[in-house]
Structures are given as structure tokens and as C-alpha cells.
Structure 1
Amino acid sequence: MINLDKTKQQKIHNRKIDTVIYEGESDTIIVEGSLQDKRFCNSYLFSGEIRPPYTVHHMIIRMELQLPDLNILDIEVEMPSVPHEFCRDIRECLEPLKGMRIASGFTSKVKKLVDRKKACTHLLTLVTAMAPAAFQGAWSAKIRKPLDPKIYVGMMGKLENTCWAWREEGPLVEKIKTGT
């Protein structure tokens, strides 16, 4: 058992990833993701200088997605806090994702399209973390009104093999396939 007494041990670092989905215009959604790394303790710089606690990274990605296929129409990056000013030079590194569809294999496609040497690992972490939330948000957007059963089944079918509950031999996929 891991011994973590939060009353005695000092928190030293926190990474928070948050994704919010907004309705867009004419069958689109806006997916906004934020990644924040915070240091809660003093740290020593290479020069020996002490840096007090601070926000190391605060990065925001916004994507406009076309429904129901989740094609990325537009993508933008904002970097309110970065460890080095030159980190902002790669804000455009996710541009190759425009036109891409969020679907099975999204993470591996992102890794192939975006060269890590010309990108930011934190932005790549964030955009791949946003994909499952985008799917959930698209679902929420669509079921705010009654759906044609064919559209409903089509959207549900996209869940196959995305997790244990939606495994192809499981009861939920069987329900979709049999229409019961």
C-alpha cells in the first residue's frame, strides 16, 4: 500500500487537463482543452538561482469540429504560460491536423502527422486527451433532441472497441447490432 499522508507530505507538482465542449454554429462544436503544470515548491535553476513556485505550462487548444463525423475544421493554440519564451514559436505545430477526423486511431495518426522535433509534447498530450472528450461532447450535442434511430445506431456503433464496456463481444455492442 502506498503511504500518502496528505497532511504531512508537501505537494510539489500538479498537472491538470480540462476539456470543455461548446455548441458551435450550423452543426459544429467547439472543443477547448487546457493543460496546466504547476510547481508548488522552490526550484533551482541551472545558474543556482532559486525560482519560487509558479505555473510552468498553461496551454489552451481550441478545435472546431463538424458533426457528426468529428472532422477538424479549425484549430488554434494559446500559450498563456510557458517555461521559455521561444516555446511559443511552435503554436502552429498542430495545423496539419486540420481536416483530420477524430476517430479510432486518432492518437497514432497525430503522432505520424506532427513531428515531435518540431512540436511540443505538452500540446500533443493535450490534443490527444481532448479526443475522447470531443466524442462525448458530440454525443451530448446530438442527443439534446430526439434522433433518427439510424443516426443514433450509427453514432453508437462508433463506440465499438473503445473500452471494455464497448468491446465487440460485449452486451452493449450486441444490443446495437441486434437493435434491441
Structure 2
Amino acid sequence: MIHLDRTKQQKIHNRRINTAIYEGQSDTIIVEGTLKDERFCDSHMVTGEIRPPFTVHHMIVRMELQLPDLTILDIEVEMPSVPHESCREIRECLEPLKGLCIAAGFIARVRKRIDRKQACTHLLTLVTAMAPAAFQGAWSARIRQPVDPETYAGMLSKLKNTCWAWREDGPLVEKLTNL
């Protein structure tokens, strides 16, 4: 068993990834993701410099998605804090994702469209973490109003086999399929 006593052991690093979903224009949603890495200890640099605790990365990705298929219409990147100024040169690296649908296989399609040597690993981490939340947010947006059976069936088909609870041969899918 792992022993962690938060009262005695110093936290040295924290990464937070947060995703929020907002209503967009007509049939769109805006998905905003934030990745923040914070270092809570001094950092000894190879140059001999000692950096006090600081925010290493603070990056924001916003995507406008078309409902119901979750096509990325637009994407933008903001970098309030980066470890090196040259990191900002890669802000446009997610542009090739425009037109891509967030659906099964999304991460593999992201990796196919974006060469890691020409991108920021932190932005790729963030955008792939945002995808499941975007799906949840799209579901929330769609069920704010009554949904016709055909639309509901299409939404349910996208949920199948996304996790244990939504497995195709499970009781939840069976129950909702037979409504």
C-alpha cells in the first residue's frame, strides 16, 4: 500500500486539467480546456540559476464544435505561462484538427494529423483530455430540451462501448435501447 501523509510530505508538482463547456451560436458548443503545471519547490537549472516555485505551463485551448456530430469548426490556443518563450511559436499547431469529429478513434486521428515534432506535447495532452468532456457537454446541451427518439438513438449509439457502464451487452444499454 502506498503511504502518503499530506501533513508531512511536501507537494512538489501539480498538474490540473480542467474542461468547461459553454453554449455557442445555434447548434454549437464552445469547449474550453486549461492545463496548468505548478512547481512548488526550487528548481536548479543547468545554468546554475535557481528558480523559485512557479507556474511552468498555463495553456488554454478553445474549440467550437458543431452539434450533433462534434465537428471542430474552430480552435484557438492561449499560452499565459510557458517555460520558454520559444514555446509560443507553436500556438498554431492544433489548426490541422479543424474539420475533425470528436468520436471513437479521435486520439488516433489527432496523432495522425499532428506530427509531435512540430507540436507541443502539452497542447496535445490537453486537447485529447478535452474530448470526453466535450462529448459529455454535448449531451448536456442536447438534453436541455426534449429530444426526439431518432436523435436520442443516435446519441445512444455514440455512447455504446465507451466504458463499462455503457458496454453494448450491459444492462444500461439494453434498458435504454428498449424504450
- Please classify the TM superposition score into its range, dividing by the shorter chain length: over 0.9
Find the aligned partners of 1:49 and 1:84 in 2 and give their Cα distance.
15
Shift of 1:168: 1.4
Does residue 2 of structure 1 match 2:2?
Answer: yes
What RMSD over aligned residues (CA atoms) do the two structures have, in Å?
0.8
Question: Which amino acid counterpart does residue 101 of structure 2 have in structure 1?
Answer: R
Shift of 1:176: 3.7
Does residue 24 of structure 1 match 2:32?
Answer: no
Q: Percent identity?
A: 76
Partner of 1:118: 118
1:95-137 CA distance string (max 9 Å, x none): 0100000000000110110000000000000000000000000
Shift of 1:173: 2.1
Shift of 1:3: 0.9
Structure 1 segments of 4+ aligned residues over 6 angstroms from their partners: none
Q: How does 1:89-104 map to 2 (within 5 A)?
A: 89-104=89-104
User: Structure 2 unaligned runs (5+)?
Assistant: none
User: Structure 1 unaligned runs (5+)?
Assistant: none
Find the aligned partners of 1:168 and 1:156 in 2 and give their Cα distance.
10
1:123-152 CA distance string (max 9 Å, x none): 000000000000000000011111111111
Find the aligned partners of 1:172 and 1:70 in 2 and give their Cα distance.
24
Question: Which amino acid counterpart does residue 70 of structure 1 have in structure 2?
Answer: L
Q: How does 1:143-158 map to 2 (within 5 A)?
A: 143-158=143-158
Q: When the two structures are aligned, how many residues end up with a matched partner?
A: 179
Partner of 1:128: 128
Name the TM-score, length of structure 2 as normaliser. 0.98
| Greater CA drift, 75-84 or 148-157 | 148-157
Does residue 35 of structure 1 match 2:35?
Answer: yes
Find the aligned partners of 2:76 and 2:121 in 1 and give their Cα distance.
16
Find the aligned partners of 1:173 and 1:147 in 2 and give their Cα distance.
17
1:157/1:176 contact within 8 Å kept: no
Name the TM-score, length of structure 1 as normaliser. 0.97
SS in 2 for 1:158: helix
Shift of 1:156: 1.3
Partner of 2:161: 161
1:55-80 CA distance string (max 9 Å, x none): 00000000000000000000000000
1:90/1:120 contact within 8 Å kept: yes
